């Protein structure tokens, strides 16, 4: 099939993009990487009247660390995220996204705005307790990861707004594990784990409509094999996954246990991170 007819607008800056979206009155969509938007348009599952291309907006592809926080522009491609060393957890997760062609075009902000519950980067944002900066007709606002994802394929980004930047605090130790039918397929279950001082954050993707934060508490001792096994069991007990064509609820719980164990084993093995 082919896309329905639409008007095309190439934005020159963020204000121009937001204005074009507002004028579209709910019938506009942003085009960055297009890895999620274009396929659904081709299948006529979406038929926006206006496409706002933001690829030529300058200054949205930066990657830099300030005060222990990675600050990334909206147009940072998955390939760039996978290749950087400033935030190893984000790099590890990005390597699981699709295939080389997809990673070369797909963007960080696009993945977060799309809010696919099986996607890797929403889980990383939640595990790092990060945030996004959103521009709209009323100005800019900062949205914490806990408030950004509101449901499956739903986020707190309005139809006339766009994500302009992402904040990802850099953890002291990290781990990422994923099970997919084939590398590059959507995750059946993924786990992102991050330690900040004594705080341990474990987030499971693919088991609910939004990335699921597992209550892990503070690390009051070493993250040894016994503690890892206990936390993995707790994660499996805490999720309530659906059954679908990719596996039963029990299958996903078992995967949650194993992926959590693998991610936490990586956390335990992470060498001390040099301050950036």
Over pLDDT 90: what percentage of the chain? 91
- Domain extent, residue 146, equals 63-169
Does one domain contain both 89 and 136? yes
Does one domain contain both 79 and 41? no
Does one domain contain both 162 and 179? no
What's the predicted TM-score (pTM) here? 0.95
Is 275 a member of any domain?
no
Does one domain contain both 13 and 89? no
Tokens at residue 52, please?
């706002």
**In this predicted structure, what is the pLDDT of residue 2?**
85
Does one domain contain both 146 and 73? yes
Does one domain contain both 193 and 242? yes
Is 101 a member of any domain?
yes
**In this predicted structure, what is the pLDDT of residue 19?**
98
| Domain count within the chain | 3
pLDDT band of 220, cuts 50, 70, 90? confident
**In this predicted structure, what is the pLDDT of residue 97?**
96
The CATH code of the domain that includes 13 is 3.30.43.10
Q: How large is the C-alpha radius of gyration of the chain?
A: 19
The CATH code of the domain that includes 90 is 3.30.465.10
Mean pLDDT of 225-248: 95
Does one domain contain both 45 and 71? no
Is 159 a member of any domain?
yes
The rounded mean pLDDT for the chain is 95
pLDDT tens figures, 165-199: 999 999 999 999 999 998 889 899 999 999 999 99
Is 21 a member of any domain?
yes
**In this predicted structure, what is the pLDDT of residue 121?**
98
Does one domain contain both 163 and 67? yes
pLDDT band of 221, cuts 50, 70, 90? confident
Does one domain contain both 165 and 182? no
**In this predicted structure, what is the pLDDT of residue 47?**
95
Is 204 a member of any domain?
yes
Mean pLDDT of 246-272: 94
Chain mean position to CA 127? 10
Mean pLDDT of 50-58: 98
The CATH code of the domain that includes 208 is 3.30.390.50
Residue with token string 């590890």: 92
């Amino acid at each position: 099939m082919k896309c329905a007819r639409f008007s095309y607008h190439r934005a020159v800056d963020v204000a121009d993009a937001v204005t074009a979206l507002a004028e579209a009155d709910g019938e506009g969509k942003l085009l960055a990487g297009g890895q999620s938007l274009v396929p659904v348009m081709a299948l006529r599952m979406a038929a926006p009247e206006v496409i706002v291309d933001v690829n030529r907006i300058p200054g949205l592809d930066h990657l830099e660390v300030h005060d222990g926080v990675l600050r990334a522009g909206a147009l940072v491609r998955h390939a760039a995220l996978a290749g950087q060393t400033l935030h190893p957890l984000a790099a590890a997760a990005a390597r699981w996204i699709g295939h080389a062609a997809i990673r070369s075009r797909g963007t960080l902000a696009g993945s977060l705005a799309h809010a696919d519950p099986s996607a890797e980067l929403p889980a990383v944002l939640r595990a790092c307790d990060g945030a996004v900066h959103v521009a709209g007709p009323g100005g800019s606002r900062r949205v914490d990861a806990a408030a950004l994802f509101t449901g499956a394929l739903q986020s707190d980004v309005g139809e006339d707004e766009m994500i302009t930047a992402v904040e990802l605090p850099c953890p002291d130790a990290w781990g990422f594990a994923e099970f997919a039918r084939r590398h590059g397929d959507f995750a059946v279950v993924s786990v992102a784990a991050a330690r900040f001082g004594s705080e341990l954050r474990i987030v499971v993707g693919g088991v609910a409509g939004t990335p699921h934060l597992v209550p892990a508490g503070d690390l009051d001792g070493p993250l040894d094999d016994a503690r890892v096994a206990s936390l993995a069991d707790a994660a499996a007990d805490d999720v309530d996954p659906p059954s679908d064509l990719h596996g039963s609820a029990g299958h996903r719980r078992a995967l949650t246990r194993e992926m959590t164990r693998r991610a936490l084993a990586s956390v335990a093995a992470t060498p001390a991170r040099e301050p950036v």
